[in-house]
Amino acid sequence: MSTFLQQLRVDWPAASERASVEALRSRALAELTSAGDRGALPRGVLGNVCLKELVEGLGRTAGYDPKLDKCLVTEDLLSVLAELQAAVQHWLEDCSLGLAAAPDAGTDSCMVVHVVSYEEEFQQQKLDLLWWKLDDQAPRRQKHLVCGPVKVAGVPGTLTAKEYYELRHTQVCKASALKHSRDLAQDPAWTETFRVLSVAAIKFEMLSKAPQSQLLLDLADSISTKGTKSGTFVMYNCARLATLFESYKRSMEQGLYPTFPPVSSLDFSLLREEGEWLLLFNSVLPFPDLLSQTAALDQDRTAPGLHITARTEMVCKFLVQLSMDFSSYYNRVHILGEPRPHLFGQMFARLQLLRAVREVLHTGLAMLGLPPLSYI
């Protein structure tokens, strides 16, 4: 799974090497309630630790399951805890090197988000509380993001993450071959582009559903830049914007167009197309509100309760709709008109609007960990 996350460009915290469990084991042995019966315990099981007092201290309003009482302490569980400790320590070291925006870096400034399935939530709550029990330096802000199941339509057995990525990557390469009438999969100039497109296809597929909902993957869905619900469609329009501004730059260097004038001198009353106002009022102006609504993780840092939400589906749907509006407008309106002085005013007003659209699109993609593409 770590390889799959790396392919998706997800910066997942992890210990750089196998973390030591000695300190945790010593503390656990001191807390065990079944010390006298250890000889009869199964191999790898150290005993039980009572978590009920800790749950009662937090209060049920904190969101922990009221049935939480005792936790069976195993070597495997301590190993997972040691890796969590090491990941937090790695984050603190990055802060001390100026790699994170946390001038008062410490465990009190760190929030741990447990990304967990419904089936594992109860066990993960035990792990959360056991960390508090055995480590005085454990972060006091621990939140849980509970995710729904991922299922595959019409496929018996199990599809591995590796197989899923390779399938989408193959589909991206085939779609490109159809578009360009030649196979570019072995062209080094396209290697990174195909990787980004594969990641975009997967992220939009998986994040367009609310995390807590069940996700049904349809592997038969083809990958196409024309499919208006896909990440490749968004990336395609990102590349179209890049091509547009590159075309303006080349024409300007050739002396066909003047340099871009100050924004204050532009006459935006020349924007009379309905598509221009759709882009402005449906995408550019509402974008700050979208940012505030989707920043739930930051807002929940100090909010009461154990669970947090992540509104990834809002970002995906917004970017798809923006791409649809831009595509419709771009197909109807000739942005870079004839190099005649009386047409420059409208051209520059349109380019400035599309500059804002590009900024919104790039920012939205960055929220999903996707870089913009200049060609596709």
pLDDT in tens, 177-194: 888 889 888 889 899 999
Name, in order, each residue with C-beta under 8 angstroms of 144's C-beta and a sequence gap of 6 or more.
63, 113, 114, 116, 121, 124, 125, 128, 306, 307, 308
Stated pTM of the model: 0.85
Taking only the tens place, the pLDDT of each residue in 129-163 is 999 888 888 887 888 999 998 888 876 667 888 98
- Reply yes or no on whether the pLDDT at 103 is more than 80: no
Residue 100: pLDDT band by 50, 70, 90 thresholds?
very low
Residue 318: pLDDT band by 50, 70, 90 thresholds?
very high
**What's domain 161-367's superfamily in CATH?**
Isoleucyl-tRNA Synthetase; Domain 1 (1.10.730.10)
Q: Which residue has the higher pLDDT, 130 or 92?
A: 130
* Rounded Cα–Cα distance for residues 226 and 136 (Å): 54
pLDDT given for residue 16 in this prediction: 54
Q: Where along the chain do its domains lie?
A: 2-147, 161-367
Question: Which residues sit opposite 141 in a β-bridge?
Answer: 111
Region 185-214 average pLDDT: 91
Range in 90-104, 241-255, 272-286 with the lowest mean pLDDT = 90-104
Range in 50-59, 77-86, 122-131, 167-176 with the lowest mean pLDDT = 50-59
Q: Which residue has the higher pLDDT, 46 or 238?
A: 238
Count the neighbouring beta carbons within 10 Å of the beta carbon of residue 350: 23
* Rounded Cα–Cα distance for residues 112 and 12 (Å): 12
Residue 243: pLDDT band by 50, 70, 90 thresholds?
very high
What single-letter amino acid sits at 31? E
What is the residue-wise DSSP string for 158-216?
Answer: ---HHHHHHHHHHHHHHHHHHHHTS--TT-HHHHHHHHHHHHHHHHHHHHSS-TTS-EE
3-class SS of residue 143: strand
**E strand or H helix at 278:** helix 274-279
- Reply yes or no on whether the pLDDT at 98 is more than 60: no
Taking only the tens place, the pLDDT of each residue in 328-359 is 999 999 999 889 999 999 999 999 999 999 99
pLDDT given for residue 91 in this prediction: 78
Q: Is 250 exposed, middle or buried (0-12, 13-18, 19+ CB in 10 A)?
A: exposed
* Rounded Cα–Cα distance for residues 290 and 257 (Å): 36
- Reply yes or no on whether the pLDDT at 228 is more than 90: no
What are the strands, taking DSSP E only, across the chain?
A: 45-50, 70-74, 111-117, 141-147, 150-152, 215-217
Strand pairing class (45-50; 70-74): antiparallel
* Rounded Cα–Cα distance for residues 181 and 139 (Å): 55
